[in-house]
Amino acid sequence: MRTHQVITWSVTMADQDKTPQPAPQKIGIREFRGNLPGFLRQVRQGSSFLVTSRGEVVALVQPPQPPTPSRRQPGALRGKIRMAPDFDTLPDDLLSIMENGEA
């Protein structure tokens, strides 16, 4: 029994087009090897390809996915944010309006 390893290639794109792309085009592995620079140029422009060997898909070649946002690091801004000393002190006129409904 012959097994194939599925390989995914990514090519860095300067501009990533946000428009939906058509389904990947199937190409044979010999055709892919024979014109690798041409196919990679098309991938940079947003095309995707399923590379096949004897009718079986062995690789998906597509533009890279947008990077996932990194998780926030608790405490990463420690020491970089300053609050005014009177941050939680209400001005007397605003406090009077809130307590009595009048200035």
Which CATH number goes with the domain that contains 54? 3.40.1620.10
Q: Encode the chain (103 residues) as per-residue pLDDT tens digits.
A: 445 555 555 544 444 445 566 789 999 999 999 999 999 999 999 999 999 999 999 999 999 988 888 888 888 888 898 888 888 888 888 888 888 876 5
Domain annotation covers residue 30: yes
**Spatial separation of the C-alpha atoms in residues 14 and 77, rounded to whole Å:** 31
Residue 100: both structure tokens together: 């009595």
Domain annotation covers residue 26: yes
Range of the domain at 20: 7-61
Domain annotation covers residue 66: no
pTM of the full predicted structure? 0.48
What is the per-residue pLDDT for 17? 47
Number of domains observed in the structure of the chain: 1
Q: Which residues of 65-76 are buried (b: 16+ CB within 10 A; e: fewer)?
A: eeeeeeeeeeee
Domain annotation covers residue 84: no
